[in-house]
Amino acid sequence: MEGKVAVVTGGAEGMGKALAMKFLEQQAKGVAILDFNEEKGKATVQELQNQYGDDKVLFVRCDVKSKVDMEGAFDQVMRTFGHLNVVCNNAGIYDEINWEETVDTNLKGVIRGTYLAVQHMGTKHGGDGGIVINTASSNGFIVNPVSPVYGTTKHAVIAFTRNVANVLRHRCCSEIDNGIG
């Protein structure tokens, strides 16, 4: 990760925070934490800045359900760090009652983040290439009767990730390859 720049959605706590810390431990040039929880996000960034330096960590309040928020966040990362190498689409929620929020966050947020990663890191757009990590769950491999919507979103994240990887590997879909998605 030395000299690399990473974006981590849902980076204010949990697995996202752990990913951000790991990237910084491995000498990342910068890590941008995107999260809708401003209070936790700012606290996490302060903690990481104290440990790794003010110029290495950026917090952007961002709701992955919002196209405008996501596009603005990626633009801010590019303005701050100059390039992008790793995108971790990690934001997720578990809410079977407000199931549309779960679908919009867990699936649409991953799709949006993946396509923005292609736009910003893709060699056809002046980038150097990069890595996209889409977080799913063991619920993406099993059937769980108490979380049908959550499980479905995680199954879909796995399928989407496999399909996009295959498309990009074989350059068979110009819309994705061109980062239009």
Beta strand segments in the chain, E = 5-9, 30-35, 57-61, 86-89, 131-134
Residue 176: what pLDDT? 53
Residue pLDDT, tens place only, 142-167 = 788 889 999 999 999 999 999 998 88
Query: Phi first, then psi: what are they for 57, rounded to 5°?
Result: -130, 135
pLDDT < 50: residue spans in the chain: 175, 177, 179-181
Residue 181: what pLDDT? 39
CA dihedral for 149, 177, 79, 72, sign (positive or negative): negative
Distance CA 19, CA 141 (A): 22
Provide the annotated active-site residues: 150
Residue 65: what pLDDT? 97
User: How is the chain split among helix, strand and coil, in percent rounded to 5?
Assistant: 55, 15, 30
Distance CA 55, CA 78 (A): 14
| In 95-147, alpha helices (H) | 99-103, 109-121
Residue 180: what pLDDT? 40
Residue with tokens 């993946």, as numbered in its chain:
114
